[in-house]
């Protein structure tokens, strides 16, 4: 039974932070909020027709272990339209770092979401342009 790929990422937080995260991933990253098939509070954010980011509200009585080693570093999204993305980040005053091109010509933008999670945006070589060669 081989793994076919990654289905989704889930971020769990208190409701006020959850709404902030939803707004960030919709307004800044460009995902869209869509149908969610669970009775608990949260959001499913879609890229095209796939819910790839789930945002789940923690319950008030939910135990959240404080002594767990957190190894999560970032989530990466496949993107297009590098120049437009950079313009959006600048317009929204979002801090980011544009990495040097990878050996195969991909461009990457690195930023942080409002909860401190790393976000990587990947652009294939065909999206290079004169401003960001």
Return the pLDDT at 56: 93
In this structure, the strands spanning 50-57 and 9-13 are: parallel
- Cα-Cα-Cα-Cα torsion 66, 9, 14, 72, nearest 10 degrees, comes to 30
Domain limits, the chain? 1-59, 73-133
Average pLDDT over residues 56-76: 80
Return the pLDDT at 127: 47
**Domain 1-59: homologous superfamily in CATH:** 2,3-Dihydroxybiphenyl 1,2-Dioxygenase, domain 1 (3.10.180.10)
Return the pLDDT at 34: 95
Q: Which DSSP string do the residues of 6-55 spell out, in sequence order?
A: ---EEEEE-HHHHHHHHHHHHHTS--EEE----SSSEEEEEETTEEEEEE
Question: Residue 101's pLDDT band (boundaries 50, 70, 90)?
Answer: confident
As a CATH number, domain 73-133 is: 3.30.720.110
Integer Cα distance of 78 and 57 in angstroms: 26
Return the pLDDT at 130: 45
């Amino acid at each position: 039974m081989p793994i076919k790929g990654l289905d989704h990422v889930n971020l769990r937080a208190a409701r006020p932070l959850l709404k902030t995260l939803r707004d960030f991933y919709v307004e800044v990253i460009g995902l869209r909020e869509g149908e969610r098939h669970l009775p608990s509070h949260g959001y499913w954010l879609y890229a095209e027709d796939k819910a790839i980011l789930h945002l789940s509200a923690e319950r008030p009585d939910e135990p959240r272990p404080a002594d767990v080693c957190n190894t999560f570093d970032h989530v990466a999204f496949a993107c297009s339209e590098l120049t437009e993305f950079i313009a959006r980040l600048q317009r929204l005053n979002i801090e980011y770092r544009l990495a040097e091109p990878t050996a195969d010509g991909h461009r990457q933008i690195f930023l942080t979401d409002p909860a401190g999670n790393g976000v990587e945006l990947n652009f294939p070589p065909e999206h290079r342009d004169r401003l960001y060669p």
